[in-house]
């Protein structure tokens, strides 16, 4: 029997792939422009954006576990 942890992990990865695929599917040109801008960005800016993304994700997970 597959544990619920593995089911949750596979579900999360699947959802992540669906969400990440939306922009290149809907607007490929805009996606290319965004990737080009990201490659030109300063390392510090990218680290701050990554940190902010992780913090928002952690807060969302906490709120979801607490209230849902």
Q: Quick one: pLDDT at residue 25?
A: 98
Q: How confident is the model at residue 2 (pLDDT cuts 50, 70, 90)?
A: confident
Q: Quick one: pLDDT at residue 19?
A: 96
Give the C-alpha separation, 54 to 35, whole Å: 20
Checking if the pLDDT of 66 tops 80, the result is: yes
pLDDT digits (tens, 9 = 90+) for 9-54: 999 999 999 999 999 999 999 999 999 999 999 999 999 999 999 9
Q: How confident is the model at residue 68 (pLDDT cuts 50, 70, 90)?
A: confident
CB within 8 Å of 67: residues ≥ 6 apart: none
């Amino acid at each position: 029997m597959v544990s619920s942890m593995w089911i949750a992990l596979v579900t999360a990865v699947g959802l992540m792939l669906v969400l990440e695929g939306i922009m290149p599917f809907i607007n490929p040109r805009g996606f290319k422009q965004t990737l080009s801008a990201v490659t030109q960005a300063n390392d510090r800016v990218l680290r701050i954006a990554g940190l902010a993304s992780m913090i928002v994700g952690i807060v969302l997970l906490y709120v979801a576990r607490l209230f849902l």
